[in-house]
Amino acid sequence: MKSLKTLSILFAGAMAVASCEQAPKSDDAKTTEAKTVDSTKKSDAQELKLDLATSTVTWVGTKVTGKHTGTFGIKEGSLSVKENQIAAGKFVLDMAALKVTDIPADNEMNGKLAGHLKANDFFDVEKFPTATFEVTSVEAYKADTTKKVEEKDKEYTLANPTHTITGNLELKGVKKSISFPAVVNIANDKVDAEAKFNINRADWGIVYEGKKDDLISNKVHIGLKISTAAAQ
């Protein structure tokens, strides 16, 4: 009888783990120490301002009982193009403009979650009102054939990346280099780029675990859709 009870408990535990929400199965950004920015790459390059009306930065956070989605505000940004290639670029995120999109805006839980994310447990926007991403290199995409190909969520993974973008992401006062696949199109003095990847928030010192019975995943999914405005 004891063994039957034990099996029941183990089975229930296994089912609970199996039903936990998992972070999106996407490409993991390669994270290393921040790299030096070569300012000479902007020489003779055409600077194109970001179209703030059409550019978006989205996020997905997961925990044991589910997930939340939202956006980061974009304060300003630009990309420098030379010989039909991205030579440099920098974006500034408005962390105070963070929004939650999976809970109706008029629901009090929306405000509570957004407020918690802006507090010092997470992004501490009062002390760190902005985050930045500065491009250090953009190269033609090469698939890593040494790794086993794992099934990924189509919604959160690019089908046919064209480039690998590397840059310094400064978040909550911590600067790290990240590399991730992207689709980049440059035509008629305009740049359109898209990227989908996961980062580990702990690399930037964001280590709040959540409640004991509702732990939060360290993986955060980031989605970028960037367009530049028409050249003046």
| 161-207 residue pLDDT tens | 999 999 999 999 999 999 999 999 999 999 999 999 999 999 999 99
Domain-wise residue ranges, the chain: 23-227
Q: Could you tell me if 31 and 198 are in contact, meaning their C-beta atoms sit under 8 angstroms apart?
A: no
| 104-136 residue pLDDT tens | 999 999 999 999 999 999 999 999 999 999 999
Query: Comparing 98-102, 182-186, 207-211, which segment has the lowest mean pLDDT?
Result: 207-211
Q: Could you tell me if 101 and 70 are in contact, meaning their C-beta atoms sit under 8 angstroms apart?
A: yes
Q: Could you tell me if 133 and 169 are in contact, meaning their C-beta atoms sit under 8 angstroms apart?
A: yes
As a whole number of Å, the CA-based R_g of the chain is: 20
3-class DSSP assignment, residue 12: helix
Alpha-carbon torsion (135, 137, 139, 144), positive or negative: negative
Chain mean pLDDT for the chain: 90
CATH of 23-227, one of 3.20.20.70, 3.10.129.10, 2.60.40.3080, 2.40.128.110: 2.40.128.110
| Position 226, amino acid | I
Q: 74 - beta bridge partners? A: 93
Confidence (pTM): 0.88
Residue 87 in tokens: 């030579």
Q: How far apart are CA 202 and CA 145, in angstroms?
A: 28
